[in-house]
Structure 1
């Protein structure tokens, strides 16, 4: 753009040969000249010739000393990145219009952009006083957004010091304390932020925005205290939707899922058109095996406009598939037309088609699905393996996974599925190789640690190593019932029957899985509690009559 400057000077020299002459001597048409120069400036800006536009406007500003012209010149100078020139122009503007609120606003903005915070206190103090005098109610609201002015300033501690200089006259307003809380939080002074949020609440006790901020600050150091605080606040102010939603989210984060589920369901009744409420309420219901409630909430979500419905159709398809409503499931899966759920929806559709003896259609659906990303390609290989597994072709499923691993050798999901498939085929060396590769990539993969540890314990091999693996897995996921089951089975192999019984009871309480029932029953039997063992097995068989591990265990002790 620098090459445009000589052209600009030349063009104007040709157009106005008496450029420097006094108007009365040259007889120049000042209005026409000004209009033409404005057009040059704006047309140059539109064409991207910013330097040319800036020259035209700055020259015009110097000649006319018109505040509007100077303001436009300053705006273009700022746009061109010439903040020093923009500040110079704004100071000229203020010299002409000393009481101009707009000139002061522009100068404040430019000083912030150039990080000249030390020059701001007097100007910002005057601006705040002016805004407060003009409209006190709007001023209080604008304080909530005061920190947005400094969002790109990295020196957050300096911003907080500036706020401390300019806000004292307004500390009777809760919004001023909220602004200080935001500034303190940005400056990593969490205690100060907590104090200021508390001060805002004392001035305005029912203000849920301040309550939510205080709760989130409390959550960083004492999650249970934050939950108790919000419980008290929402009990006192039951209409506080934002606070109730924040409370529900904290309950989920704290794994207090029963409480979270109840609160989300109540929120769903109170706010039936809020996706932020309905979706987590549906997920928590499904997690609790309450499919009826989950389905109802997801169907409510489908009726709402302007939301991504791919996830909703996928989950409804899952519900229908598990209920044996295969045509309904297919209909939902077909409506998943993009996003991360597309490939899983196609995979589930293929499995349904296979179960309907439509093998060719199932294969065609998978072949027509192209994975664009490594993750989607991985899901397709996993789906193909699952399809073969459903046909009883376990070895072919492993071959499909190995083809996938040739393309994606470090894919964690493929490695994990290949390991479990290899174990079912009795190919334990391959299983261990895949799991150790996976753990080299993700040393804290709890399920891989559990799978390897359980396999060693189940085959009564290297029990000390199995214990190390399972303890690592347990530390990563202490409430996982399947990891508890593995630990209990290891304790059984080590001859620690009473410890094994205690661990397996806890696992079975968390998850009534048939394989956990098989292990629990075996330990009970060995401890001489055969009647309870039979009861555990019989109840599990009623729920899962086709589970081969459970069947084998029962036959072992009751031929």
Structure 2
């Protein structure tokens, strides 16, 4: 009995899921308490041996020292030895914390075998299998979870959607959701889940049909109405607008639908009609801080900054729950309307939350713009960073301030120091590569971008930057073309990558193809650097007046752009357009 009680206490202290019995009262001898504890915990019949105790101590010591692999191995071994579900749960939790999905799956599989009625165990194994892309293996677990939630099956399907959204195989996800939905055709949430899965799988007609079935079962469901409008919008803006308008005639107090309708009207440049919807929202929800803030954001999309400012201030007066967010948005409006001092004051009023650091970075940036470069850098360096990501963001913000003064060596040094602390941080690698380019440190540029591509093979900007650097230097042009084609495959609508593709074709002598992509890039974004490239190709072709017109327009927007000025100087021997 003494050994078994020690085993109980070890499990209770070391296992996150161990629970002491509710009745802690002991009789005079204490003997009946031990018996009650053992009975209530329903432990497997396993005596505490020296080997088990040793594995406990090794596992827990390893855990305390951060040696997670050793801890995982010991707890998995203990689970096999003792057949105790609490140890299986402990092994699963440690594996998840260590980011070891293979060990987590192994431990969770034992957990559900040992505790088949545990909802936590089944949820864990299902989530793990989905994240590992093993949808067929997850299917029976998901079926049982849904079957156990008969009264809440709608909510369960909404949560299931969030879980399955992580799986990249959209077609397989849709098949799984359709299969799981079969017994629950009377639930609007089930049709909603199928619709979303169909949408992500590019089955747009099925997505529309399922969302309409959801609305037929629950006509006043605003969330479904908003999503139905978004589905229609991808097919026909007119049809989406008609749907929103008709829906609002039936359910006029559907604020979320009205907000979505106003946003659609803004996107379709029907600004007067959008203003009518915004005014309706303001009139009918005069004391609702959330609707007031939403109308301010809509007004900002139209450039109606007076309405935006008054709405934000009113939201504050009405006690909007996240005042930090409102002050941040106000700071953005003050910047947009060229009131930097008021913007700085607003950013300083952001005291906490997710917008605290972005607000302080904007404050420092405005401080530097006013000429207080040293003070801005000192301010950034004084800000607390809660994690590596925040540390990197502060370094990048300081680098951006320095870059505007063209202090490229200081930028390079700052980013190099940052990479000494965070050697694999993608944004730092990318920014240092750009700084190295300015200093002619092309070996560093290539090393950083190659490393970034290894770390983030789906990052189009890394391929584009490396390919563009090769093209600009007339080096490895076939490789440059290959890199930029990879970039544009990852981000086909990016005008800067289109510009790079046009530029490398031009460098390779394919002027017609180069001109085609440069025109596409400039039409999408008339940026000064794109203008410099397009103008150069036109100039070489003999269309000098067209080139001058493009350069002239670009200079009006950015008279100090280095690439544009260098192009003018090189081709026309001047830095201005007559």
Q: Does TM, scored on the shorter chain, surpass 0.5?
A: yes
Partner in structure 2 of residue 397 of structure 1 = 411
Q: Counterpart of 2:471? A: 457
Query: Alpha carbons of 1:298 and 1:482: their partners in 2 closer, same or farther (altered >3 Å)?
Result: farther
- The 5-angstrom pairing of residues 225-240 of structure 1 reads 225=235, 230-238=240-248, 239=252
Query: What residue is the counterpart of 2:5 in the other structure?
Result: none
CA contact (8 A) 1:197 1:210 kept: no
Paired position in structure 1 for 2:225: 212
Match of 1:271 in 2: 281
| 1:494-505 matches, cutoff 5 A | 494-505=508-519
Deviation sequence 1:228-267 (CA, Å, 0-9, x none): 7644422323345444556788x79xxx955699987665
Contact 1:150 1:159 in 2 (8 A): no
Q: Residues 333-372 of structure 1 correspond to what in structure 2 (within 5 A)? A: 333-372=347-386
Aligned position for 1:515: 529
Q: State the secondary structure of the residue aligned to 1:507.
A: helix
Shift of 1:502: 1.9
1:424 — aligned with what? 438
Q: How far does residue 7 in structure 1 lie from its aligned partner after superposition?
A: 4.8
Bigger Rg over Cα: 1
Q: TM-score, normalised by structure 2?
A: 0.59
Q: Which residue of 1 aligns with 2:458?
A: 444
How far did residue 362 of structure 1 move? 2.6
Match of 2:392 among 354, 374, 378: 378
Q: Name the structure 1 match of 2:340.
A: 326
Pairs within 5 Å for 1:305-324: 305-321=319-335, 324=338
- Measure how far apart 1:557 and its partner are: 2.1
Distance 2:221 2:210 in 1: 14
Taking only aligned residues, the RMSD between alpha carbons, in angstroms, comes to 4.9
Residues 186 and 291 of structure 1, relative CA distance in 2, 3 Å threshold:
closer
Give the C-alpha shift of residue 195 in structure 1: 6.5
CA distance in 2, matches of 1:193, 1:540: 44
Q: Report the Cα distance in structure 2 between the residues aligned to 1:393 and 1:342, rounded to whole angstroms.
A: 28
Q: Does residue 551 of structure 1 match 2:565?
A: yes
Contact 2:312 2:326 survives alignment (8 Å): yes
Distance change (3 Å), C-alpha of 1:421 and 1:212: same
2:124 aligns with none
1:468 counterpart = 2:482: yes
Worse-superposed segment, 259-268 or 440-449: 259-268
Q: Deviations along 1:141-187, whole A, 9 cap, x unmatched?
A: xx9x67458999999999967657xxxxxxxxxxx563774697899
Contact 1:268 1:278 (C-alpha < 8 Å) held by counterparts: no
Gaps of 5+ in 2: 1-19, 41-114, 118-143, 164-175, 574-578
Preserved CA contact (<8 Å) 1:208 1:242:
no
Deviations 1:214-240, CA, capped at 9 Å, x for gaps? 838x95xx9734867644422323345
Pairwise CA distance, 1:340: 3.6
Q: Hey, what's the Cα distance between the residues in 2 that align with 1:556 and 1:502? A: 23
Task: Give the Cα–Cα distance (whole angstroms) in 2 for the partners of residues 214 and 347 of structure 1.
Answer: 35
Post-superposition shift, 1:431?
A: 1.1
- 1:414 and 1:214 map into 2 onto residues whose CA distance is 38
For 1:246 and 1:413, how far apart are their aligned partners in 2?
Answer: 34
Single out whichever of 259-268 and 300-309 deviates more from structure 2: 259-268
Shift of 1:330: 1.4
Distance, in Å, in 2 between the alignment partners of 1:399 and 1:496 is: 39
8 Å Cα contact 2:312-2:330 kept in structure 1? yes
TM-score (norm 1): 0.61
Residue 471 of structure 2 contacts residue 480 of structure 2 at CA under 8 Å; is this kept in 1?
A: yes
Q: What is residue 526 of structure 1 aligned with on the other side?
A: 540
CA contact (8 A) 2:296 2:307 kept: yes
- Number of residue pairs aligned between Structure 1 and Structure 2: 423
d(CA) in 2 for partners of 1:319, 1:416: 30
- Residue-by-residue CA offset, 1:117-143 (whole Å, 9 max, x unaligned): 69x9xxx9xxxxxxxxxxxxxxxxxx9
Q: What is the Cα deviation at residue 357 of structure 1?
A: 4.1
Q: C-alpha separation between the residues in 1 aligned to 2:432 and 2:146?
A: 60
1:416: how far off? 1.1
C-alpha contact 2:187 2:217 (8 A) present in aligned 1: no
Partner of 1:406: 420
Contact 1:261 1:284 in 2 (8 A): no
Match of 2:234 in 1: 224
Match of 2:549 among 530, 535, 543: 535
- Secondary structure of the residue aligned to 1:372 is coil
Moved more, 269-278 or 511-520: 269-278
Distance (whole Å) between structure 1 residues aligned to residue 157 and residue 562 of structure 2: 64
1:407–1:285 CA distance, 2 compared to 1 (3 A)? farther
Mapped partners of 1:467, 1:445: distance in 2? 16
Change (3 A) 1:541 1:308: same
Query: Cα distance 1:117–1:288, how it changes in 2: closer, same or farther (>3 A)?
Result: closer
Residue pairs, 1:90-239, within 5 angstroms: 147-148=154-155, 178=188, 181=191, 198=212, 207=220, 209=222, 212=225, 215=228, 219=231, 224-225=234-235, 230-238=240-248, 239=252
CA distance in 1, matches of 2:197, 2:381: 54
